[in-house]
Amino acid sequence: MESLFLNPSLIFLGLPLLALPIIIHLINLMRHRRIQWAAMEFLLAAYKKSKTWVILKQLILLLMRIAAVAAIMFIVAQPMMQGGLDFLGGEVTHHIVLLDDSYSMSDVHGTESAYEIAQRGVMQIANKAATARGAQEFTLLRFSEAVQENPELDTNSRRVAADFESTLEPVLGRHEASQTASGPEAALDSLGRVLDEGRDENRIVYIVSDFRQNEWESAGALRDKINRLKEQGVQVKLIRVVDKENENLTITSLAAVPGVRATNVPIELEVTVKNNGKNVKRNVAVALTEDGLERSGVTISEIQPGAEESRRFSVFYQDTGSHWVEARLPNDEVHADNHRYWAVDLPLEISVLICDEDPEHRSSHYLDIVLNARADELATGITTRIEHPRYLSDHDLSSFQSIYITNFSRLEDAAVAALEDYVQNGGGVAFFLGDDTQARWVTENLYRNGEGLFPVPIASKVGLLFDSESRTPDLVPNLDHPVFRVFGISKNSFLNKVTISKYWALQANFEAKDDLVLCRLRNNAPLVVENRSFGSGRVVTYLMSIDNAPADTLGSVDTQQVERKSNWTSNPSFVVSMMMLQSYLSKQKEGSFEIGAPFDVDNLSVEQFGADVEFARMGQYPMTIKVQAIETTSEDAENTSGETDEVDEDSDVTPVSLVDSGQDSDDSTLDSGTQNSANPDENTKTRTAKFEETDIAGVYEARLQSLGSSLPMVRIRSYNVDPAEGRLAITPTENLAASINLDGVEILNIADLGGGSGAAQQSNMSQYLLYGLILLLIGEQMLAYWASYHTPIPGGTR
């Protein structure tokens, strides 16, 4: 508590005045009236009786008069006190600051980023709290921290003292705008978890943010949350950090075009850039890096405001293992969305299972030819395995990228269960019906009223009537679907030459949804149908046979066409279509992760991998850190799932967390060819490690210490920012008020918070002293009356 006077010289000038009451008291004693008194005996007795009280009252009165003079002197000198009368206690006011540190806050305005402006605002809030009346507490929570399971508050109910500025400054300085897109909802949600609801205090919640439109324009959920706070008596203030928006380009996507991803196969990537500004951007150069090495980039000639433009480029890798690509825009006001990463773990080849009941493989033959091209110059990166459908019943299917089932009559129950399990776990299955397919069995066991693998119930095999007058080709594909999209781009006329004479009709009362139909016949009957509602995998069903055998004569008029059920397998479009189908069915494992998601590495067999796991980040901010995996059995994992353990402090490793080793690994590309890895014994010892510091975009590698090889085994992931945060359009105050639609929510600009140094924030205590003086004088008068120093009521005495 620091104090000073505005007019300190008056204190010294006024000090002699303190003696004034004493002097007056002495003078009064000297100027008394003398009187000859007869009843002296009684007077002396009375004096003796009340001597103590009389002297005490006189002394108190004298002190009060001195205090009154001192108070007047202080009022004139105007004492200033930092923190006012906080030391007296009173009701606590809790300032809770929710600080937006999403990457849109890195938007630079002049020389400062929005986040730095927000930091200044937070300091101003703290300074105002430090000079406010009553006890003040301060809690700071960043948006990016609020999304954590157990958020840590930067300051938790910290009592605001006069020197709080020096406490808060280093806390704020430890952080800068994150690369997350964390919004206010999570921060408001976490308030209930981090604050003690039972405390009796006045709460003011400040949301310090840039209030971008993508979060605040239609803030229904936010309105509800803020409304709940209001109902709890919490005062809510929205502090706007910036009032104008900058131009910004964002790489919204960098992904591989569907296709086979294997070595020696060209992989086509597509980079998409969005213009989040208000002006047309021309000649936008996107720099590219392959495995850390610069390569030729792409240039987008023009991007309209608010529009996206994509460009494709190919990468080609001869080596198996992890590879990554970085796309990079020139620096603008927001850096985080100028980088985007793509990573892939390339196997030498991928395995595809083809099941065919026909020992002569008349159906699977065409698929095998298409998928497993042997010529080096036509490498597809795919190896095929043709088996009887019984193979499905008693073999692990997880090693196959996709499964094709052709020309089947019915499947064993175990095969159906295995297929369903395979699709549940992300596998892709394509069905090609055969002449002997039992429609009733399929409907009852594969369709199962919509709960099975099959997308539609089938009725029977029917013929497609030949119509020489019709100019409509037999196949009418959905060109928006990835499997057939290529025909729309290249205007391939081969597809128009495909003829279909036999197909399987759906049950009469069943109508397939349009978005699930990939291709129809010219009579509008569905030919290729998809089931997207079964697990995370994909199921595509061709309601036709591809065995290329002569069809029966039913319904066929043209003698040349009658000989075959379809000529599609002889048509070049079949090759393209099947390759697209294979890409579509393949497990999509190179997907981009959003930053912040933990990098789990589990199910590491202790026989194959050592304990040390090195996590490395590549890209704009490279780093390497070594962690030690925890060894556990499957039983231990069940008992300790979710617990956190510290590793040896002496080792140069970071703590890792136990995770359930029984979970399926999503890094199955590494397990290619190891068919038993998914079914370890119950007491099999495995290692597991988790890396949680993935809050910066980049390519992350987990380098596993392989015991059988000098080279580490690598698992790779790309982590990217949420491109939506790159939209910098701010919500105008009137729209913000409308979207919040709440009375009493204060919306302030950062400038409205005011500022000033600690000295200027001191409270003038003159007012308090004036109140004290009034009380003192009232008390003095009462005491003086009690001590009989006042003239009594006229008429009562002489």
Partner 1 sequence: MPDSRRFLHPEAVRRLGRMELRARHIVEGFLSGMHRSPYFGQSIEFLQHREYVPGDDLRHLDWKVWARQDRYYIKQFEEETNLRCTLLVDVSNSMRYGRGALSKFEYACTAAVSMAYLILKQQDAVGCVAFDEGIRNAIPIRSRRNHLDSVIHALEVSEPRDKTDIFRMMQNVAENYPRRGMIILFSDLFVDRATLFKGLRMLRQRGHDVLIVHIMDDDELDFTFNGPMRFDGMELPEHLSCNPRSLRDAYLEVVGDYLEEVRRGCAKNTVDYALVRTSEPLDAALAAFLSNRLGMHHRN
Report the interface residues with partner 1, using CB under 8 A.
Answer: 28-29, 31-47, 49-50, 54, 57-58, 787-789, 791-792, 796-798
Instruction: Using the minimum distance from each CB to partner 1, give the nearer residue, 53 or 316.
Output: 53
Report whether 324 contacts 343 (CB < 8 A).
yes
Instruction: Using the minimum distance from each CB to partner 1, give the nearer residue, 770 or 783.
Output: 783
Instruction: Using the minimum distance from each CB to partner 1, give the nearer residue, 88 or 793.
Output: 793
From 758, 760, 755, 731, select the one nearest 207 (Cα to Cα). 731
Q: What is the DSSP letter of 149?
A: S
Count of CB atoms within 10 A of residue 755's CB? Answer: 14
Instruction: Using the minimum distance from each CB to partner 1, give the nearer residue, 35 or 88.
Output: 35
Instruction: Using the minimum distance from each CB to partner 1, give the nearer residue, 63 or 307.
Output: 63
Report whether 408 contacts 389 (CB < 8 A).
yes
Cβ partners under 8 Å of residue 230, min gap 6 = 236, 742, 744, 745
Report whether 22 contacts 66 (CB < 8 A).
yes
Q: How far apart are CA 82 and CA 763, in angstroms?
A: 6
Q: How far apart are CA 128 and CA 750, in angstroms?
A: 13
Instruction: Using the minimum distance from each CB to partner 1, give the nearer residue, 87 or 785.
Output: 785
Taking the complex as a whole, how short is the minimal distance between the CB of residue 57 and partner 1, in angstroms? 7
Would you call 524 exposed, middle or buried from its count of C-beta atoms within 10 A (0-12, 13-18, 19+)?
exposed
Q: How far apart are CA 423 and CA 451, in angstroms?
A: 13
Q: Strands across the sheet with 308-315, in order?
A: 249-256, 267-275, 308-315
Instruction: Using the minimum distance from each CB to partner 1, give the nearer residue, 55 or 707.
Output: 55
Report whether 286 contacts 297 (CB < 8 A).
yes
Pairing label, strands 249-256, 267-275: antiparallel
Instruction: Using the minimum distance from each CB to partner 1, give the nearer residue, 40 or 508.
Output: 40
Cβ partners under 8 Å of residue 167, min gap 6 = 155, 158, 161
Encoded tokens for 544? 């036709």
Instruction: Using the minimum distance from each CB to partner 1, give the nearer residue, 110 or 796.
Output: 796
Q: What is the DSSP letter of 516?
A: G
Quick check: helix, strand or coil at residue 213?
Answer: helix
> How far, in whole angstroms, is CA 688 from its chain's centroid?
24
Taking the complex as a whole, how short is the minimal distance between the CB of residue 21 and partner 1, in angstroms? 15
Taking the complex as a whole, how short is the minimal distance between the CB of residue 787 and partner 1, in angstroms? 6
Q: What is the DSSP letter of 550?
A: P
Taking the complex as a whole, how short is the minimal distance between the CB of residue 70 and partner 1, in angstroms? 24
Amino acid identity, position 312: R
Q: How far apart are CA 339 and CA 336, in angstroms?
A: 6
Taking the complex as a whole, how short is the minimal distance between the CB of residue 33 and partner 1, in angstroms? 5
Taking the complex as a whole, how short is the minimal distance between the CB of residue 19 and partner 1, in angstroms? 20
Instruction: Using the minimum distance from each CB to partner 1, give the nearer residue, 31 or 174.
Output: 31
Report whether 614 contacts 718 (CB < 8 A).
no
Q: How far apart are CA 258 and CA 581, in angstroms?
A: 9
Taking the complex as a whole, how short is the minimal distance between the CB of residue 95 and partner 1, in angstroms? 54
Taking the complex as a whole, how short is the minimal distance between the CB of residue 83 and partner 1, in angstroms? 43
Distances (CA, A) of 585 to 427, 482, 534, 579, 774: 7, 11, 13, 10, 87
Cβ partners under 8 Å of residue 654, min gap 6 = 625, 626, 627, 647
Report whether 97 contacts 140 (CB < 8 A).
yes
Quick check: helix, strand or coil at residue 648?
Answer: coil
Count of CB atoms within 10 A of residue 383's CB? Answer: 15
Q: How far apart are CA 709 and CA 528, in angstroms?
A: 46
Taking the complex as a whole, how short is the minimal distance between the CB of residue 42 and partner 1, in angstroms? 5
Taking the complex as a whole, how short is the minimal distance between the CB of residue 785 and partner 1, in angstroms? 10
Count of CB atoms within 10 A of residue 631's CB? Answer: 14
Taking the complex as a whole, how short is the minimal distance between the CB of residue 777 and partner 1, in angstroms? 20
Instruction: Using the minimum distance from each CB to partner 1, give the nearer residue, 45 or 285.
Output: 45
Instruction: Using the minimum distance from each CB to partner 1, give the nearer residue, 64 or 367.
Output: 64
Taking the complex as a whole, how short is the minimal distance between the CB of residue 22 and partner 1, in angstroms? 15
Instruction: Using the minimum distance from each CB to partner 1, give the nearer residue, 57 or 109.
Output: 57
Instruction: Using the minimum distance from each CB to partner 1, give the nearer residue, 28 or 741.
Output: 28
Q: How far apart are CA 71 and CA 446, in angstroms?
A: 94
- In order, the DSSP letters of 708-730 are T-SSPEEEEEEEE--GGGG--PB
Encoded tokens for 431? 């069905």
Taking the complex as a whole, how short is the minimal distance between the CB of residue 233 and partner 1, in angstroms? 54
Instruction: Using the minimum distance from each CB to partner 1, give the nearer residue, 35 or 489.
Output: 35
Taking the complex as a whole, how short is the minimal distance between the CB of residue 784 and partner 1, in angstroms? 10
Q: How far apart are CA 111 and CA 107, in angstroms?
A: 10
Taking the complex as a whole, how short is the minimal distance between the CB of residue 69 and partner 1, in angstroms? 21
Q: How far apart are CA 213 and CA 418, in angstroms?
A: 47
Taking the complex as a whole, how short is the minimal distance between the CB of residue 795 and partner 1, in angstroms? 11
Instruction: Using the minimum distance from each CB to partner 1, give the nearer residue, 46 or 554.
Output: 46
